[in-house]
Amino acid sequence: MQAAKPAKIKFTADHWKAYGLLIPSLIIFILFMFWPFMYTIYLSFFDWNMVKPTKEFVGLQNYKEVLTDPTTYKVFGNTLLYIGLLLIINLIIPYILAFVLDIVLKRFNHLYKGAIFLPSVISLVVGSILFTWLLNPVSGPAAIILGWFGIDMPIWSKLDGWVIVVLSLITSWKVFGYNFIVLYASVNGISREVIEAARLDGVPLWKIFFHLVLPMSSATGIYVFIITIVQGLQYVFTPIKVITQGGPNYASSNAIYHAYHEAFVLYRTGHSAALSILTMAIFILLLILEFKFVERGIHYEN
């Protein structure tokens, strides 16, 4: 018996129209994502300060220097701390709040939703400047109010640990509302019959949350989990740049800002490129671990 020949695909005018519509997106992707990525890999093997007309090939020397620099590990530790704090503030708290507003407190929930979401449409630069004034340890409103009770506000921008907590809160002011609305929509989409049946059977609210709401909205939860990790790498850049510039002594810097600092402040482009590639590798590793260990327990409707 002769093997069946594969059917030939006939390209019609509709096919070419579809490919034609894809071309602008492909051009944008190549110019602004693929080419910068490849050029970053290229630069990581060179010593260049963006001023010299020539680049000096150094091989893996940039990677060796980055991996042996204690500042690198301090910055990556800060990044993990940012991610941890943002996961607590922008995933766990909005999840609980969405459950409370949708199932427990049903009065005025539209007002609450609007008020919570409003900061997400305001620029994070504006928010950073606003909080710099509000949290000024000498003359800010927060310091004045604490002074009424005899409490001195610490100079948080100069204290290790405190500065990360405050910058995480400033970032959360921007991203909390969006995450809350997404999680609220997911919780609101759960069948009311299931929730009401559980409440009629006398199931405690905490059990309803952990055994019904959490599994049935887990697909949205994992989406918010991933974007919150991305926010820990990217969104914190703005308040760091506006308020602390990575100080004191890199105590508030994260991986993204440190790569920017190396390239555009210290003009060590090779170091910056190597750090960027290592950051991307860590982010890919986090995604692989997430898909391997977290994705298994996700419930997708239908």
Q: What are phi and psi of 222, to 5 degrees?
A: -70, -30
Positive or negative torsion for Cα 75, 79, 82, 84: negative
Residues 194 and 210: their CA atoms lie apart, in Å, by 14
CATH architecture of the domain with range 72-297: Orthogonal Bundle (1.10)
Residues 289 and 284: their CA atoms lie apart, in Å, by 9
Please give the pLDDT value at position 41: 93
Positive or negative torsion for Cα 82, 88, 89, 95: positive
Q: What are phi and psi of 268, to 5 degrees?
A: -105, 80
Strand 46-47 with 56-57, pairing: antiparallel
Residues 199 and 95: their CA atoms lie apart, in Å, by 19
Please give the pLDDT value at position 90: 92
User: How would you class 98 by CB atoms within 10 Å of its CB: exposed for 0-12, middle for 13-18, buried for 19 or more?
Assistant: buried
Closest-CA residue to 120 (of 163, 166, 180, 167): 180
Residues 237 and 124: their CA atoms lie apart, in Å, by 10
Number of residues in the chain: 302
Q: Is 11 helix (H, G, I), strand (E, B) or coil?
A: coil
Give the N- to C-terminal CA distance of the chain in Å, as an integer.
42
pLDDT in tens, 274-297: 999 998 888 888 778 877 776 666
Q: Give the residue extent of every domain in the chain.
A: 72-297
Residues 77 and 93: their CA atoms lie apart, in Å, by 23
Helix (H) or strand (E) holding 56: strand 56-57
Instruction: Tell me which residues of the chain have a pLDDT lower than 70.
Output: 1-11, 294-302
For 240, the token pair is: 């760091």
Residue with tokens 């850049």: 237
pTM beyond 0.75, yes or no: yes
Question: Vertex 236, ends 225 and 227: CA angle to 5°?
Answer: 20
Q: How far is CA 247 from CA 74, 126, 244, 253, in A?
A: 12, 20, 5, 7
Please give the pLDDT value at position 2: 55
45, 60 Cβ separation under 8 angstroms: yes
Please give the pLDDT value at position 58: 92
Please give the pLDDT value at position 164: 93
129, 123 Cβ separation under 8 angstroms: no
Please give the pLDDT value at position 86: 92
Q: How far is CA 34 from CA 25, 31, 205, 231, in A?
A: 12, 7, 48, 21
254, 82 Cβ separation under 8 angstroms: yes
